[in-house]
């Protein structure tokens, strides 16, 4: 098999664009097809998160492809969460006790544009917009498309086809429907949906609330968050049940009820969202789903990557980072197996699957943490202790959040296992006042480590997988 293999990539979103760039750098001929128009010339943000959190796993992949600095130029650092209570009081909680560890708000469209432009600089890359993949003949590696402009249907035959076509992947659907192999597959929706709103910039073009934080209005049943944009605005996202509770998407159908809901639950935010009624009634409500599946590949012919293989809910800010990390891991596997696609695909899933499963589960955990626990005294005490430990022992203590977000050399699965045990140890020690008599932080660190290791050991003996 030659390096001149013709690669077809379905989907020119964040993962597809970065993959195209990397494969082009490795010398492959890449043809990429995207159902949407070119987002560099058309505004197509409606209904999708227009900003995202970029952190160290994402940067590592961007660095591999030589585009880290271009991305950093459009980043807004967020150093912690800023919680807003019902009375409008706020309190901050840093993401890390270490210097220089923060997450970044970045425009999905702008970043995608950078990646498309970089990919297109390679003469062995072609990008086709407004072409929707309708199905894939996986046996013959032929992808079928419909051109939205000409309305014509056409087919493309590649040596290998990558599906980076997102949570609604056409390639994945073909796996499911063609029934050529036992396909393990799950799609799980939360009872909550989401809706995007906007806090505009003030008259001078400045941010109206701190741009150094990810803002959270945690209310148990509901949650509002806001991430800053470069133009001084914030993208606000409301998470709300479709059906349950006093207020939900199905019953918030009148301007009166919407205003009542926001006045009661988010009055300080309401003051900042002038078009609340219009936006609430006109912006789409999105679903929050997790997709897992296996196998990701079919023989030596096709492979799912990014959200197409593992869509996750947004609550850990890791969706884009996980998809970019796919490219990092795939590149490493190619170093070993290049020339044998089936071996490459198998080794890639073996190396990657438990980590994407882990971040999917962690993201669900964080939904409950952000919604219910961040304002809980036990949780606040634990976070304070963790900040002190990270600050005092920057090379020895890493919270679960730090392992997931700032330590790209720790795989997600390991971060989950160790992080959950550590959280359990900390919460129980705080609840039982085990640390109240300890004045020396070094001693506290030792005790936390011992308890964490004991928990891991007990789980191991119990045979928990």
The helix/strand/coil state of 189 is: strand
108 alpha-carbon distance from chain centroid: 11
Query: Is residue 287 a contact residue for its own copies (CB under 8 A)?
Result: yes
Residue 439 to residue 42: CA distance in whole angstroms: 59
The mark string for 119-148 relative to its own copies (x by CB under 8 A, - otherwise) is ------------------------------
CA distance 236 to 320: 18
Out of 167, 209, 427, 438, the residue judged to bind its own copies by CB under 8 A: 427
User: 255 near 279, Cβ under 8 Å?
Assistant: no
Residue from 424, 447, 449, 453 in contact with its own copies (CB under 8 A): 424
Q: Which two tokens stand for residue 249?
A: 């998407």
Kindly tell me which of 25 and 187 has the beta carbon lying closer to its own copies. 187
* Residue list 225-244, contact with its own copies (CB under 8 A): 242
Task: Kindly tell me which residue out of 49, 70, 146, 183 binds its own copies, with binding defined by CB under 8 A.
Answer: 183
254: contact with its own copies by CB under 8 A? no
184 binds its own copies (CB under 8 A): yes
Q: Is 423 in the site for its own copies (CB under 8 A)?
A: yes
Applying CB under 8 A, among 188, 250, 254, 275 the residue interacting with its own copies is 188
Q: How many residues bind its own copies (CB under 8 A)?
A: 29
Q: What are phi and psi of 67, to 5 degrees?
A: -120, 15
* Interactions with its own copies, residue window 7-36 (CB under 8 A): none
Bridge pairing between strands 213-218 and 80-84? parallel
Nearest to 162 by CA among 295, 268, 11: 11
Site string for its own copies, 402-421 (x = CB under 8 A): ------------------x-
Task: Please state, in angstroms and rounded to a whole number, the distance separating the CA atoms of residues 222 and 199.
Answer: 18
Element of type H or E holding 319: helix 319-337
What burial letters (b/e) apply to 441-450, b meaning 16+ CB within 10 Å? Answer: beebbeebee
Instruction: Name which of 276 and 313 has its Cβ closer to its own copies.
Output: 313
Choice between 211 and 382, CB closer to its own copies: 382
Among 77, 109, 289, 394, binds its own copies (CB under 8 A): 289
Is the Cβ–Cβ distance between 169 and 308 less than 8 Å? yes
CA 171, CA 174: separation in Å to the nearest integer? 5
What distance lies between CA 206 and its chain's CA centroid?
A: 27
Q: Which residues contact 225 (CB under 8 A, 6 or more apart)?
A: 214, 215, 216, 217, 236, 237, 239, 370
Question: Which CB, 151 or 465, lies closer to its own copies?
Answer: 465
190 vs 438, which CB is nearer to its own copies?
190
The reply on whether position 251 binds its own copies by CB under 8 A is no
User: Is the CB of 272 or the CB of 312 nearer to its own copies?
Assistant: 312
Quick check: 179 binds its own copies (CB under 8 A)? no
Cβ neighbors of 254 (< 8 A, separation 6 or more) are none
**Min separation Cβ 109 and its own copies, Å:** 27
Provide the minimum distance between the beta carbon of 271 and its own copies in the complex, in angstroms, as a whole number. 33
- Nearer Cβ to its own copies, position 227 or 288? 288
Going along 115-260, which residue ranges are E strands? 125-128, 131-137, 142-147, 153-157, 160-163, 184-199, 213-218, 223-228, 234-241
How does strand 234-241 pair with strand 223-228? antiparallel
**In the complex with its own copies, which residue's Cβ is closer, 100 or 463?**
463
Q: Which helix (H) or strand (E) holds 10?
A: strand 6-10
Q: How far is the CB of 116 from its own copies (least distance, A)?
A: 31
Q: Does 249 contact its own copies by CB under 8 A?
A: no
Element (H or E) spanning 8, and its range? Answer: strand 6-10
Confirm or reject binding of residue 189 to its own copies (CB under 8 A).
yes
Q: Among residues 202, 220, 431, 443, which is the contact residue for its own copies, using CB under 8 A?
A: 431
Residue 204 binds its own copies (CB under 8 A): no
Distance (Å, whole) CA 216 – CA 191: 20
| DSSP assignment string, 375-430 | T-HHHHHHHHHHHHHHHH-TTT---HHHHHHH-TTS-HHHHHHHHHHHHHHHHHHH
Within 367-386, which residues bind its own copies (CB under 8 A)?
368-369, 373, 378
- Which of 43, 99, 149, 182 forms a contact with its own copies (CB under 8 A)? 182
Q: Does 461 bind its own copies (CB under 8 A)?
A: yes
Q: Of 221 and 459, which CB lies nearer to its own copies in the complex structure? A: 459
Q: How far is the CB of 34 from its own copies (least distance, A)?
A: 23
Nearer to its own copies, 41 or 462 (CB): 462
185 forms part of the interface with its own copies (CB under 8 A): yes
Q: Does 41 bind its own copies (CB under 8 A)?
A: no
Which residues of the shown chain bind its own copies in the complex (CB under 8 A)?
182-189, 242, 287, 289, 292, 368-369, 373, 378, 420, 423-424, 427-428, 431, 458-459, 461-465
């Amino acid at each position: 098999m030659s390096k001149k293999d013709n690669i077809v990539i379905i989907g020119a979103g964040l993962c597809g664009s970065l993959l195209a760039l990397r494969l082009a750098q490795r010398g492959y001929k890449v043809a990429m097809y995207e159902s949407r128009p070119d987002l560099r010339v058309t505004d197509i943000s409606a209904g999708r998160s227009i900003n995202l959190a970029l952190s160290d796993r994402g940067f590592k992949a961007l660095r591999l492809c030589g585009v880290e600095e271009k991305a950093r130029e459009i980043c807004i650092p967020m150093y912690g969460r800023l919680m807003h209570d019902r009375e409008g009081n706020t309190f901050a909680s840093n993401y890390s006790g270490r210097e220089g560890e923060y997450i970044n708000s970045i425009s999905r469209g702008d970043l995608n544009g950078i990646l498309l432009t970089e990919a297109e600089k390679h003469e062995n890359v072609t990008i086709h917009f407004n072409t929707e993949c309708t199905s894939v003949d996986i046996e013959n590696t032929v992808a079928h498309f419909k051109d939205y402009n000409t309305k014509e249907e056409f087919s493309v035959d590649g040596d290998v086809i990558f599906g980076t076509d997102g949570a609604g992947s056409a390639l994945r659907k073909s796996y499911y429907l063609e029934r050529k192999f036992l396909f393990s597959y799950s799609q799980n929706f939360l009872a909550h949906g989401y809706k995007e709103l906007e806090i505009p910039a003030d008259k001078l073009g400045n941010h109206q609330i701190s741009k150094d934080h990810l803002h959270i209005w945690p209310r148990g049943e509901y949650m509002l968050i806001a991430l800053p944009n470069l133009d001084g605005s914030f993208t606000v996202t409301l998470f709300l049940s479709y059906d349950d509770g006093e207020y939900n998407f199905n019953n918030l159908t009148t301007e009166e009820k919407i205003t009542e809901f926001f006045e009661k639950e988010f009055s300080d935010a309401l003051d900042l969202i002038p078009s609340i009624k219009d936006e609430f009634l006109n912006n789409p409500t999105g679903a929050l789903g997790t997709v897992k599946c296996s196998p990701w590949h079919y023989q030596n012919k096709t492979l799912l990557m990014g959200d197409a293989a593992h869509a996750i809910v947004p609550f850990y800010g890791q969706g884009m980072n996980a998809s970019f990390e796919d490219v990092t891991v795939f590149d490493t596997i190619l170093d070993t197996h290049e020339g044998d696609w089936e071996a490459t695909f198998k080794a890639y899933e073996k190396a990657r699957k438990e980590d994407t499963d882990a971040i999917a589960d962690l993201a669900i955990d964080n939904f409950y943490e952000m919604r219910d626990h961040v304002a809980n005294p036990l949780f606040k005490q634990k976070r304070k202790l963790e900040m002190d430990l990270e600050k005092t022992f920057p090379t020895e203590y890493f919270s679960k959040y730090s392992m997931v977000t700032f330590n790209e050399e720790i795989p997600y699965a390991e971060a989950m296992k160790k992080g959950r045990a550590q959280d359990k140890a900390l919460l129980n020690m705080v609840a039982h006042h085990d640390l109240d008599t300890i004045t020396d932080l070094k001693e506290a660190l030792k005790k936390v480590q011992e308890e964490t290791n004991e928990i891991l050991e007990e789980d191991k003996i119990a045979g928990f997988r």
